[in-house]
Amino acid sequence: AQSVTQLDSQVPVFEEAPVELRCNYSSSVSVYLFWYVQYPNQGLQLLLKYLSGSTLVKGINGFEAEFNKSQTSFHLRKPSVHISDTAEYFCAVSGRNSGNTPLVFGKGTRLSVIA
Amino acid sequence: GAGVSQSPRYKVAKRGQDVALRCDPISGHVSLFWYQQALGQGPEFLTYFQNEAQLDKSGLPSDRFFAERPEGSVSTLKIQRTQQEDSAVYLCASSPDRVGEQYFGPGTRLTVT
């Protein structure tokens, strides 16, 4: 079984400042890792994913994340945020099995970008 | 192209009523997932279909919850005798069966009064 901890429930940040949203996971097996974004009254949109290979993963909207196996972390970063980045961000994990498996999500981090 | 659609977007039910929530996945997607998202929480897995076969229903919280996908496309999540604790957003996701590529619908917000 897997679990995900998002250490910050809310992160306020000024526009054009950098941001890091933290995510730690626990699993007895190897995992795939994901970050999703949820805008108000919308479904989840995939920002980026780590499956294998380079531990630095680049996604949409200028976001990137780094997989750190020793620290079981997958923190999301953006060097300069925009007002439009205001949303809920979810870190998720799935077991590294064959085929599709359900995602296990963290509780989310609400990013508020201040003008 | 068309994404995952869900209907209704909002549903208010009186305690004890039955409800049916519909999910139209992306055409051709083999896998379909249902998740429940309580207020202020992340989504939690309910059940998973591959084509018409329900391969995992371990997340369904009680026997009042039932899901089907009879022709391997549209899926319906049914909740019988709704309770207040069923109030949540119900999310559907479909996947072409490649790892990680789950595409989510906008969700159905269920409020049980």
3-state helix, strand, coil in chain A (%, to 5): 5, 55, 40
* Residue B10 C-alpha from the chain's centroid: 13
C-beta separation of B68 from B84 below 8 A: no
Evaluate the CA torsion angle B96, B101, B103, B109 in order and state its sign.
positive
| Interface contact A104-B31, CB threshold 8 A | no
Rounded to whole angstroms, what are the CA distances from A45 to B58, B72, B108?
25, 24, 16
Q: Give, as one character, the DSSP assignment of residue B84.
A: G
Residue pLDDT, tens place only, A27-70: 988 889 999 999 987 889 999 999 888 999 999 999 999 999 99
Which of B91, B100, B101 lies nearest to residue A43, judging by beta carbons?
A: B91
Structure tokens at A24: 């730690």
Residue pLDDT, tens place only, B28-51: 999 999 999 999 899 999 999 999
| Interface contact B43-A45, CB threshold 8 A | no
Residue pLDDT, tens place only, B47-74: 999 999 999 999 999 999 999 999 999 9
Residue B54's pLDDT is: 95
| Residue A53 in contact with partner chain B when CB distance is under 8 A | no
